[in-house]
Structure 1
Amino acid sequence: MTFKEDPRAIRTQEMLKEALLTLLQEGHSLHQISIQTLTQKAKLNRTTFYLHYQNINELKEHLINDILQALTDKIEALNSIFDRNRKEHLIQLLDYLVEQRNSILALVQFEQVEQHLLLLMKDLIVNRRSQSKNIGRKIIVDPDIKTASIVGIIMWWLKDGLHLDSAYIAEQINLMYRS
């Protein structure tokens, strides 16, 4: 017999995650957020919170896992693409990151978010290099350095560079890091 979660429970969990994300986006640090503040923001009561989570850290972990899973799915999809449309797929990833900008910037304060992004991008770079037609070519830039550079560019862009569109950023990344 398979277990199917109650849609009301799923909706309540989403309301709590959204409330936490909103509070983080408003500039509250995690240790400043009380269960009372969180449940008021979600328009729920404290008892409802404790039916789903033991504490705010557990809620934070679920929120981060949801966002990281979506990000993982997007970046891993790029691993299977080895055609001439790489730039288009990079633009789609960058567009997705812009859509998720507020969430990413609110959660980047938690080290695991940036570490996860670094690991995903490094896997993408290493995979692309292993699939490259230039197998015999000498690798000049270490994957860790290349990864840190790309993630740094993306984070700068999300924080301060949105006056530049995703196509421009994709072109700059392609020019800097052809491999």
Structure 2
Amino acid sequence: MTLKEDPRTIRTQEMLKDALLTLLQEGYSLHQISIHKLTQRAKLNRTTFYLHYQNINELKEHLTNDILQVLTDKIENLTSIFDRNRKEHLIQLLDYLLDQRNHILALVQFEQIEKHLLFLMKDLIVTRRNQSKNIGRKIIVDPDIKTASIIGVIMWWLKDGLHLDSSYIAEQINLMYRS
């Protein structure tokens, strides 16, 4: 069993990631967070931190990569899904984003999440267009514009639109998607 597979290691890394997210959600910027403040929040000591990470930026990268990997998997699943199940998978993606809302909004300040979402959604749109059976159909909306609008809707929803459920947002995105 390697160090990364050890349940204690996984638990410690999760405690450090949770502490970082909590501090970010409380309004601290990354440069305001010290190892001392972070380990105090995680109820761990500095030596434990340095057994897992070299610095706070490395911890942030691991945390961001965890979320990006799940987003990548969920969006790539949408690429191979055809119309019959597409809305259900989109709802699952939106439910995941809603579940991770606080984490995503805390990490948006680093721009990686939003840029990655833009990249994944554009790839999804272009792939879906290339797979479309309507080969003769005129494409009206540029993929960059469509991608930006979809991500804009999702980010607005996560920040201010929680009075609308994921099913409604998925339906609205599907309406935009078809144009």
Alignment of 1:154-165 (within 5 A): 154-165=154-165
Tell me which moved more, 16-25 or 147-156. 16-25
Distance in 1 between residues matched to 2:6 and 2:86, nearest whole Å: 40
Structure 2 counterpart SS, 1:84: helix
In the alignment, structure 1 residue 43 sits paired with structure 2 residue 75: no
Aligned match of 1:56: 56
In the alignment, structure 1 residue 104 sits paired with structure 2 residue 104: yes
Aligned match of 1:176: 176
Distance in 1 between residues matched to 2:67 and 2:177, nearest whole Å: 27
In the alignment, structure 1 residue 120 sits paired with structure 2 residue 120: yes
Aligned match of 2:29: 29
- State the Cα deviation string for residues 37-77 of structure 1 (Å, max 9, x = none): 00011000011111111110010000000110011111111
Tell me which moved more, 77-86 or 14-23. 77-86
Gaps of 5+ in 2: none
Distance in 1 between residues matched to 2:87 and 2:137, nearest whole Å: 22
Alignment RMSD: 1.3
The residue type paired with residue 78 of structure 2 is L
Deviation at 1:85, TM superposition (A): 2.3
Q: TM-score, normalised by structure 2?
A: 0.95
Q: TM-score, normalised by structure 1?
A: 0.95
The residue type paired with residue 152 of structure 1 is G
- State the Cα deviation string for residues 80-123 of structure 1 (Å, max 9, x = none): 10132211221121111111111110101111111101001111
Structure 1 counterpart SS, 2:109: coil
Gaps of 5+ in 1: none
Distance in 1 between residues matched to 2:50 and 2:81, nearest whole Å: 43
Structure 2 counterpart SS, 1:164: coil
Bigger helix share: 2
The residue type paired with residue 114 of structure 1 is E
Distance in 1 between residues matched to 2:169 and 2:51, nearest whole Å: 44
Distance in 2 between residues matched to 1:17 and 1:67, nearest whole Å: 11
Deviation at 1:6, TM superposition (A): 2.2
The residue type paired with residue 85 of structure 1 is N
Deviation at 1:3, TM superposition (A): 4.1
